[in-house]
Structure 1
């Protein structure tokens, strides 16, 4: 199957309301001149995940993140390596955060939370959620559940003694205090995200809201896996495999 056909199948599962932003936040970064028989998925495009794709015999990678511009020179190095190995690459960022089968929604389902509200809007896309439990749960129990799901340590900071009923979630980088402010305004008991900094922690303490911080990578893994499994269902002749990534972030928190 050719890359163009796979991308059309990917686009078909999204409800695209803003084509301009969708095309800026997703797409092919490198197209190899060969058919795709095996597709590999992971969160990040890095030299290490490209090596993993080569070792697994992958013809095309699907990731949540493109190579980060902030890591100077990485994007060019990745394109060079993809070309060397003849591996195509597609990423889908903001639309996968927004959609009903993406990063936020799938994590909420795994936590047995019901979405109450889509939040954190940017150019018509929503990269956050407010959700609720049927019954209140203990904060430490929720943190433990997150560790089990992500298969890595999480940072949990308690700034109130309440049970958890209402949860604010921003998968990925929800460290900016503007992100936390929206969660506070929605009267959440805890904020779950994939990154934090000093301002995040001090603002949470100031507002008396608990924090659970996973890693940017693995808090978003379930969304890209969901997309890959949809492709697996829709394209029977396509083999789909998970590409392993290291848990570097969890080790430095």
Structure 2
């Protein structure tokens, strides 16, 4: 498998090339924190990765991207590039949640065991956070409930007995205080309910941002399972319709 993954959903800009099977492949990544540099950096990253491994765009089997939630402008950059590549090369697209990518990163860095849960929060501006809760099952984070955007004070953990694919309660927890936390939204923890903050087993990893290497790993598993959409079906996920900027006085 030759899979190209992109992420421009946050201050980070990254591209990754996944080579090999979903189980045994490796991700080769370019990553840089550049809040306003995504357009300038992304395609040079792609060209560098392909050249390093002696590949041409036509050699790719599939392209993937972090589809959101995240920066509206950033999401549109990756979406446009992925659509262009997929259309020109006639290959499918895999969309990966930005929250899920950070969940995988947090679980991997923690050396988490099967069944470990992680709550990911991104600062969504406008007094809100993007929120998603996941559980590590079969080597990948599985969403518990739904991703959402809301005020920090409105957050809640899934019920302790609720686990993805938990038929018969095999992965039920005796308590709800074993969660990992990740993402910039946890910087707003003072505004979160005590029931949420007290569920963490350790301090949250506030500095984690989505990375293309994690997007690639998740996309490789999806592609191996038969997933993929056409270029025109690849769309960003905003979770809300409002833009994250305000008009200046006198501007229309």
Give the alignment's TM-score, normalised by structure 2.
Answer: 0.37
Q: Which is richer in helix?
A: 1
Structure with more contact order per residue of length (Cα contacts < 8 Å, sep ≥ 6)? 2
- Give the structure-1-normalised TM-score: 0.37
